[in-house]
Amino acid sequence: MTTNRAFLMTLFVLLFSALVSLGLWQLRRADEREASQDRFALGRDLPALTAPLSNQGIEEYRYRRLELRGRYLSSRQVLLDSMIHEGRAGYHVLTPFLPLNDSRWLLVNRGWVEADPDRRVLPGVEVGETIRVVTGQLDALPRPGLELGGSIGPEGWPLVALFPNPEELEERFGEPLLDYQLLLDAEMPDGYVRQWQLRMLSPERHVGYAIQWFSLAGTLLVIAVILSLRSRKFSAEG
């Protein structure tokens, strides 16, 4: 009997600790998400940068506005697959942009377009290649929660990709390619639907999950107390 009690006590401590840890982790995630939202909003108001960043500088300047003069390349665009807008499936259109006096191409996200019911039919996303100015917010390319491979479609342009790997994109593109994207401002021409939001769970959702984990921990504690009291009562009666 003593061995069983020790085992149950150990099991309770492990489960209780795990549930509390999960709740605290969700609260930390909520703080991180809130900080990211604040940073995203602040980036719109800060003065725009006027030169491309190195790949290592994206985290420091993420969500900052960037203004560049250069030209698009219409013939080698990327369609970022499985993008949802108002319940409809579609693509984000990533168009290579070469800034003047620079040899590195930048992917400009020109917004969302709806997908054809026949997924073999790709949208027409051609764009003029004259010299122009583009402005937008810097952001990293989307990454999957779990790397499964095979995220880029077969040869051919536009290239359909789910979670494009920057190195593989550069290999397909054949030119130096920065591994971040520019979210094109809504007032810029030659764009599509642009209602930019962070692709992450809201802080409120994380807080909700934390409450669930803490509730489970509380329920487990109540059960443990009840069982302990009953065990003492039976021992006293015996």
Residues 10-46 have pLDDT tens digits of 888 888 899 899 989 988 888 877 777 777 777 778 8
Query: What's the CA angle centered on 191, arms 186 and 197, to 5 degrees?
Result: 50
Q: Into how many domains does the chain fold?
A: 2
- CA-CA distance, 71 to 202, in Å (whole number)? 36
Q: Where are the beta strands (DSSP E) in the chain?
A: 65-72, 78-85, 88-99, 105-114, 132-140, 159-161, 177-184
Same domain membership, residue 30 and residue 57: no
Which sign, positive or negative, has the C-alpha torsion 22, 24, 28, 34? Answer: positive
194: in domain: no
**Mean pLDDT within 79-86:** 93
For residue 226, being part of any structural domain is answered with yes
Q: Show Cβ contacts of residue 72 under 8 Å, excluding neighbours closer than 6 positions.
A: 95, 96, 97, 108, 127, 128, 129, 132, 190
Statement to judge: residues 150 and 51 lie in one domain: yes
Examine the domain organization and report whether 156 and 221 are in the same domain. Answer: no
User: What is the model's pLDDT at position 237?
Assistant: 59
Could you tell me if residue 147 is inside a domain?
Answer: yes
Q: Identify the three-state secondary structure at position 212.
A: helix
pLDDT band at 106 (very low <50, low <70, confident <90, very high): very high
For β-strands 159-161 and 105-114, DSSP reports them as unpaired
Q: What's the pLDDT score for residue 181?
A: 94
Query: CA angle, 143 as apex, 119 and 111 as ends, to 5°?
Result: 55
In this structure, the answer to whether residues 12 and 71 fall within a common structural domain is no
58 residue type, one letter: I
Domain that holds residue 233: 2-34+203-237
Q: Are 27 and 94 contained in the same domain? A: no
pLDDT at position 150 over 60: no
216 and 170 inside one domain = no
> Which pLDDT score, from 0 to 100, does residue 64 have?
92
Q: Of 178, 166, 159, which is closest to residue 66 (Cα–Cα)?
A: 178
Count other C-beta atoms under 10 Å from residue 176's C-beta: 11
Residues 135 and 169 in one domain: yes
65 within domain boundaries: yes
Residue 92 has pLDDT above 90, yes or no: yes
Question: Contact, 209 vs 26, CB < 8 A?
Answer: yes
> Both 18 and 117 in a single domain?
no
The structure tokens listed for 147 are 């790397």
